[in-house]
Amino acid sequence: MASLETSSSSPFLRKREYGNKQPSASAEERVFGPRIESRFMSTKERQISLAGVLLSACAVVVTAGLMFLLGVNIVIQYRTMVPEDRSGLLRKACYIVLSATGIFFMNKFNQWFYQKMMTYFSDSKYQRLPAEESFEMRSRA
């Protein structure tokens, strides 16, 4: 009669062990395996400044209003296009492209401004690299 602890025919399957092994903490760990600790899951111990968040929120409110107006401008320019008027059609198409570009760059500005406010008002100061070390890439001559 074969033993219960015989190895599997495939090297990828785990060997089943029967004994006094303690069960996992949860059903999730039994099904998916042990939890992998990720640096994204850990809470950051830095303090967020109220002034930086407030300034960034004000910038978001102002740019959101401007983005709304640019979106309304896109709809108006599109709805008033006349296909027979080629010069007017080209002008309105340029207005639509400029408005869409403005919305895109306002979103980029919001992201940039938030990052600047968080680094400016945070407690952790930027640490510079030592000046005596050279970090230039060497060429393959």
pLDDT along the chain (141 residues), means of 10: 52 57 65 67 62 89 96 96 92 96 96 86 58 63 58
The pLDDT score that the predictor gives to residue 130 is: 57
Contact 46/124 with Cβ under 8 angstroms?
yes
Q: Token pair 């495939």 is at which residue?
A: 10
Question: pTM (2 decimals)?
Answer: 0.54
Give the torsion sign (CA, 110, 112, 116, 119).
positive
For residue 104, tell me if it sits in a domain.
yes
Contact 99/74 with Cβ under 8 angstroms?
yes
For residue 101, tell me if it sits in a domain.
yes
For residue 133, tell me if it sits in a domain.
no
Average pLDDT, the chain: 77
Distance CA 77, CA 95 (A): 7
Distance CA 71, CA 95 (A): 11
Q: What is the dihedral of CA 131, 133, 137, 141, to 10 degrees?
A: 130
For residue 60, tell me if it sits in a domain.
yes
For residue 68, tell me if it sits in a domain.
yes
For residue 44, tell me if it sits in a domain.
no
For residue 134, tell me if it sits in a domain.
no
Q: How many domains does the chain have?
A: 1
For residue 39, tell me if it sits in a domain.
no
The pLDDT score that the predictor gives to residue 71 is: 96
Structural domain boundaries enclosing 93: 50-118
